[in-house]
Amino acid sequence: MNINAINDLTTGELRARLLGCCSGSAWAERVALSAPFSTTEDLRECCVTEWRRATEEEILEAFSGHPQIGDMNALRDKYASTASVEQGQVIDAAEVVLLALRQQNQVYLEKFGFIFIICATGKSASEMLALLEERINNRPDEELANGAIEQGKIMNLRLSILLEDD
């Protein structure tokens, strides 16, 4: 979509499109209410600014919109449209790596109370496993901040796809 098409959307329609970029409802509402935008860069800047304003509750809501890295059922089902694109390299990973991802994701979830968030685009399953194993030793506040940064990257990638989609 170009910026004119974005600006022609109702607030509700824009909010729905934005929720496809980030599952944070308050974030999507704040961005949608900021329309119209002069340029796509203005929209991008608004998205980033509003994401930085997100509260812990809003960040956790956004996290809930993601499947766990390596969750093959999610890749096949509910999140197939985005997870297969964003985590496609996981589909071809060795079974031992997938099992380790699944186990470490569970440990991570139990430790932090939310799933491991990583911008998976361009990363192999082994790379994501190494990052998960590295980050699992962090404090909860560090991991919330790390996850928020990664969620911001994911949001930007998805926004790019939205803006390219005509």
Task: Report CA Rg, the chain.
Answer: 16
CB 34, CB 26: distance < 8 Å: no
Q: How far apart are CA 136 and CA 134, in angstroms?
A: 6
Q: How far apart are CA 67 and CA 132, in angstroms?
A: 15
Active site residue 142: no
Q: Which is the catalytic residue, given 15, 17, 30, 66?
A: 66
Give 22's DSSP letter: -
Active site residues: 66
